[in-house]
Amino acid sequence: MSEKSRFTVSPSWLEERLETPGLSIVDASWYLPAHGRDGRAEHEAGRIPGAVFFDQDAVVHPETNLPHALPDAATFQRHVSAMGISEDDTIVVYDGPGLFSAPRVWWMFRVMGAKNVLLLDGGLDGWRAEGRPLTDKPVQTAPAVFNAKLDEERVASLEAMLQLVEDATAQIADARPAGRFTGAEPEPRAGMRSGHMPGARNVPASALSRDGRLLPPDELRALFEGAGVDLSRPVVTSCGSGVTAAVISLALETVGHSDHRLYDGSWSEWGGRADTPVETGEA
Which residue numbers are catalytic? Answer: 239
Of 81, 277, 84, the residue nearest 162 (C-alpha): 277
State how far the Cα of 199 lies from the Cα of 164, in Å rounded to an integer: 10
The length of the chain is 283
State how far the Cα of 181 lies from the Cα of 280, in Å rounded to an integer: 7
Angle between helices 245-254 and 217-226 (to 10 degrees): 120
Whole-number Cα distances in Å, 209 to 202, 227, 256: 15, 16, 17
Helix (H, G, I), strand (E, B) or coil at 177: coil
Question: Contact 60/87 with Cβ under 8 angstroms?
Answer: no
> Which strand (E) or helix (H) includes residue 216?
none
